[in-house]
Amino acid sequence: MRRHRKPPPSHGGQLKEKKPHQTFSKWSEEYGPIYTIRTGASSAVVVNSAEVATEAMVAKYSSISTRKLSKAISVLSRGKKMVAMSDEGEFHKMVKPPYYETPLNFRDVFQNELFGLSMTQASLNTSSVLINTFSMLGVLPVLFWYCQHVPDDLVNNLYILIFETVLQIQALSEDVSSVYVEEFGKAFSREEIFQTAVTDMMMCAIEVDWRDFFPYLSWIPNRSFEERVLTTEARRTTVMQALINQQKKRIARGETRISYLDFLLAENTLTDEQILMLVWEAVIEGADTTLVITEWAIYEIAKHPEKQEYLYQEIQKVCGNKTVTEDHLPELPYLNAVFHETLRRHSPVPLVPPRFVHENTNLAGYEVPAGTEMIINLYGCNMNKSDWADPEEWKPERFLDGRFEAADLYKTVAFGAGRRACAGSMQAVNISCTTIARFVQEFAWRLKEGDEDKADTIQLTTNRLYPLHVYLTPRGRK
């Protein structure tokens, strides 16, 4: 039986702030968790319910598995040469990170190579070794330096600080302070690498080309849009290739390391373009998941001192004077709740890349014809008032009410579901939780006065619009 739901009003002017996930969520309060909108010459079904989203991503996956990319994302992904953007097929099967379907021993090898650590170290405890590298050799000493030399100053932009220390180690096996880019005749600093590889790309990905809404007019040039996107993509490619070439020279000198890049270079089936895109994807996805969650968790913890103290006391009870490690995580339920509540409230990816319904299907009792676009609003699912009481509030306690299994990674739909669920979900949980715990164990965190409500994000992302500025005080553990 075909059901109908009145579509919301024309949305062109209402989406001009480039935060459609928030607009879609508001519309769901009036039109329900699933509704249809017109996007130029075509229709799109918008899903704002975890139950319906899971049905679409799991039960109806075979009918709606094809990615439908905007012109901007198509250019930036080099025609779906990314795991996250590729359709189910030979390329996706070849490059998808080994996870459930891979034998355990090879899965461990892959993870160890991704982290850029020696096999001897990594075999002991993959994530803990990474956290040790991250915490003891990178961020924590910098934070202690701040406390010692400028005790009344703010620690500025924690996000950039974490990125500089971790992401390049993961992807390239070393912390790259700078790279000389011959095409530009200059060396790019860490900050410039981040700006080029992450920030500029995120902003470019949400560029709107009116031809996306009117495919039959795609033959008409849109030169200003094309120039912006192509210039940004070329700059990204040039800088990433310089980073890769720098590592190739290291390999040519006989300095072999176990890193994600080394692993990809050893594969004879991958082209140079595929290697570049996969390394960049490791960087961009890390910036969109682990780092975003960690930064927002610190913001919320600093904003809620009573919850920060509760978490600190839990860590003290379990660890005492010992350094918290990944091995302690099963004994820290409130820390787990802090992670999942942050993941719910600040979903790193607000919208799943649009999918294309390639055969007639039924979703939540609605007949969805082939040719329809499918937009799954993860932000809307995690802010749905039917599923979450006071969804605007950050309440870790909601995950301790007995409704959820402690080990369940999919308490929310932020990691997706089904065959295209985030393959790095366990990694994100382990690294983020251990990092948050180490930060709280070592420091008391406090926001700059007046920053309590600065939770705005950058357009169609959950990256903070304003850098996180915090005061911190060493706790003086013995």
What is the Cα–Cα distance from 372 to 369, expressed in whole angstroms? 6
Distance, CA of 265 to CA of 271 (rounded, Å) = 9
Please report the sign of the dihedral spanned by the C-alpha atoms of residue 137, residue 140, residue 144, residue 146: positive
Dist CA 342 CA 397 (whole Å): 12
Own/partner long-range contacts of 244-253 (Cβ < 8 Å, ≥24 apart): 244/275, 244/276, 244/279, 246/176, 246/179, 247/172, 247/173
How far is C-alpha 343 from the chain's CA centre? Answer: 10
Helix, coil or strand: residue 377: strand
DSSP state at residue 122: H
What string of DSSP letters covers 273-285?
A: HHHHHHHHHHHHH
Instruction: Name the 3-class secondary structure at 267.
Output: coil
Amino acid at 270: L
Pair 416, 422: CB distance under 8 Å: yes
Which residue(s) pair with 447 in the sheet?
A: 470
In whole angstroms, what is the distance from residue 199 CA to residue 298 CA?
21
Amino acid at 89: G
443 in helix, strand or coil? strand
> From CA 8, how far away is CA 26, in angstroms rounded?
11
422 is known to lie in a ligand binding site = yes
State the CB neighbour count (10 A cutoff) for residue 243: 23
Region of 371 please: left (phi>0), alpha (psi -120 to 50) or beta.
Answer: left
Terminus-to-terminus CA distance in the chain, angstroms?
Answer: 68
Question: CA-to-CA distance for 441 and 461, rounded, in angstroms?
Answer: 29
Cβ atoms 315, 335 nearer than 8 A: yes
Cβ contact 432:339 at 8 Å: yes
66: nearest Cα among 37, 34, 89: 89
Sorted by sequence, the CB contacts under 8 Å of residue 29 that are 6+ apart come out as: 385
Among 453, 446, 442, smallest CA distance to 152 is for 446
Q: 150: Cβ–Cβ under 8 A, 6 or more apart, which residues?
A: none
Output the known binding site for heme.
422
Binding-site residue numbers are 422
